[in-house]
Amino acid sequence: MSWFFEEVERMPTTTAAREAAAAADSRAEAARIFRLDNEHLAFRYTATLSDRAGTEPFERLSDPDRLRLWLAVNGIDPGRRPTRPQLADAIALREAVYRLGVAVAHALPVAARDRALVNEAAAATGAVPELADDGIRWRLASLDTVAAALGVIARDAIALLGGERPGRIATCDGPDCAGLYLDASRGSTRRWCSMSTCGNRNKKSRMRARA
């Protein structure tokens, strides 16, 4: 009967183990649906609409469950399914952050309405950062945990767009991408939102062109 006990031992038995297994499942699902490789929370969030410079931008936040999944794997789990109006708020915030980022990147005028929207979202209270095994996790102790989670993103956007972090805001050169990133390289030589996706794609196409 020893094989039987071995099987049992391999199953997650404690709540913590079950939670860890569920979190790993969520991360795998999120990695399949989203692009999670941008280093900065607010810019990573803007990449939930991808291929922005292409003819058909791709909406990855297609329903409230996906919004919850994205928030959860980025350390700001609201603990419940967002409503449809909350999804609309989340997308409005995302697009305001993106437009502001493009304006900063290309020295264009900033829309006061976008700035007001981000500032208002940032005023949501009830989010407390905690150090976790995998970085920062936010404890959301508000009545509206979705607004609190969006507030975390909005405050990160303000830190990035307001110049609190050293670097230059730019848009990706990848074909169809135009994703935002913060170039912290010496001499501002970075061209891609992420080396593992757009940078890699470019490297491969250059190699094909040479072959």
Residues engaged in binding Zn ion (CB under 5 A): 172, 174, 177, 179, 193, 198
Q: Which is nearer to Zn ion, 121 or 177 (CB)?
A: 177
Contact of 190 with 168, CB cutoff 8 Å: no
Give whole-number Cα distances, 71 to 11, 104, 108, 135, 201, in Å.
27, 25, 30, 14, 27
Q: Give the separation between CA 45 and CA 150, rounded to whole angstroms.
A: 10
Contact of 16 with 67, CB cutoff 8 Å: no
CB of 139 to Zn ion, least distance (A): 32
CB of 47 to Zn ion, least distance (A): 8
CB of 171 to Zn ion, least distance (A): 8
Nearest to 88 by CA among 111, 67, 118: 67
Q: With DSSP H G I counted as helix, E B as strand and the rest as coil, what are the percentages for the chain, rounded to 5?
A: 50, 10, 35
In this structure, what token pair is assigned to residue 12?
Answer: 């997650």
- Residue type for position 191: R
CB of 155 to Zn ion, least distance (A): 24
Q: Which is nearer to Zn ion, 148 or 172 (CB)?
A: 172
Q: Which is nearer to Zn ion, 117 or 160 (CB)?
A: 160
5: exposed, middle or buried (Cβ count in 10 Å: 0-12, 13-18, 19+): exposed
Q: Which is nearer to Zn ion, 82 or 174 (CB)?
A: 174
Task: Say which residue the tokens 């909350």 belong to.
Answer: 86
In this structure, what token pair is assigned to residue 185?
Answer: 């390289």
CB of 192 to Zn ion, least distance (A): 5
Q: Which is nearer to Zn ion, 23 or 33 (CB)?
A: 33
Q: Which is nearer to Zn ion, 42 or 198 (CB)?
A: 198
CB of 200 to Zn ion, least distance (A): 10
